[in-house]
């Protein structure tokens, strides 16, 4: 998505009505360190010519064979491997949404869905999600991946998918200026005004959720993607039914 101006309109009472104009801006990016790839033998920066050729005569066929150093100090950057297992341990934390908003950014690196392995897990995750929706809490999950430390937010998407949203760590975050909104002080009058306003807007058609550009070329047409979600409530209901059956 390019940074550009976006004029938002809606069909209200049969007329194309402008809701406003916004500027799409990049929220944040990862800060790039000032590093260089050097020859492990002599420390010089090799030149690329179908491979990496160094002035000392050494040749390398891939950048991974080189040594990455900080330009300022020439100190080597060691890529420590935390784990190579399929299972890792993570820590869960909770803090108030306002405190999180005042101190941190939720600039997203990646989103992943999660699936509970057992009813106890499902019950605990449900409690955490309720806290994010009704108690103004933010749930943070941190863990060590293969080479990187991950900081994630446990959250619920608009389609009720349970997600881990990995955010950019604060010390490598380059935050851009963007708009924020605090809805904690919304009054009943504000809610009524918002309701009257959104009631004027039409519902989207199925066509809105399809792409009609080059990305659809060559993709086999399907009426609707198959639903592969696992309902958290279904896991808990199945566990309760097993209790009743066994008792």
Residue ranges with strand state E in 4-56:
5-12, 15-23, 28-30, 35-38, 47-48, 52-53
Q: How far is Cα 104 from Cα 170, in angstroms, rounded to an integer?
A: 7
Question: Over the stretch 197-232, which tens digit does the pLDDT of each residue have?
Answer: 999 999 999 999 888 898 888 887 666 655 665 677
Q: How far is Cα 229 from Cα 233, in angstroms, rounded to an integer?
A: 12
Give residue limits of the domains in the chain.
35-70, 85-179+194-247
- Give the alpha-carbon dihedral of 170, 171, 176, 180, to 10 degrees: 20
Residues whose CB falls within 8 Å of the CB of residue 192, separated by 6 or more in sequence, listed in order? none
| Cα atoms found within 13 Å of the Cα of residue 72, Cβ hemisphere only | 2
pTM of structure: 0.80
Question: Over the stretch 147-206, which tens digit does the pLDDT of each residue have?
Answer: 999 999 999 999 999 999 999 999 999 988 788 888 888 999 999 999 999 999 999 999
């Amino acid at each position: 998505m390019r940074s550009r101006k976006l004029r938002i309109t809606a069909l209200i009472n049969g007329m194309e009505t402008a809701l406003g104009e916004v500027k799409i801006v990049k929220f944040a990016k990862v800060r790039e360190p000032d590093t260089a790839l050097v020859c492990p033998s002599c420390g010089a920066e090799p030149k690329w010519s179908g491979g990496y050729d160094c002035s000392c005569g050494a040749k390398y066929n891939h950048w991974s064979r080189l040594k990455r150093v900080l330009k300022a100090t020439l100190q080597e950057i060691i890529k420590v491997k935390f784990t190579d297992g399929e299972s890792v341990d993570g820590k869960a934390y909770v803090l108030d949404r306002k405190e999180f908003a005042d101190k941190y950014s939720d600039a997203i690196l990646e989103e992943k869905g999660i699936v509970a392995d057992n009813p106890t897990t499902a019950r605990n995750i449900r409690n955490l999600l309720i806290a994010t929706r009704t108690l103004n809490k933010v749930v943070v999950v941190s863990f060590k991946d293969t080479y990187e430390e991950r900081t994630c937010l446990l959250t619920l998407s608009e389609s009720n998918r349970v997600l881990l949203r990995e955010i950019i760590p604060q010390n490598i975050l380059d935050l851009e200026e963007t708009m924020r909104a605090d809805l904690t002080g919304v009054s009943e009058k504000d809610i009524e005004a918002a309701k009257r306003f959104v009631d004027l807007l039409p519902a989207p058609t199925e066509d809105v959720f399809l792409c009609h550009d080059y990305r659809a070329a060559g993709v086999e047409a399907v009426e609707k993607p198959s639903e592969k979600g696992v309902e958290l409530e279904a896991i808990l209901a199945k566990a309760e039914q097993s209790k009743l059956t066994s008792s």
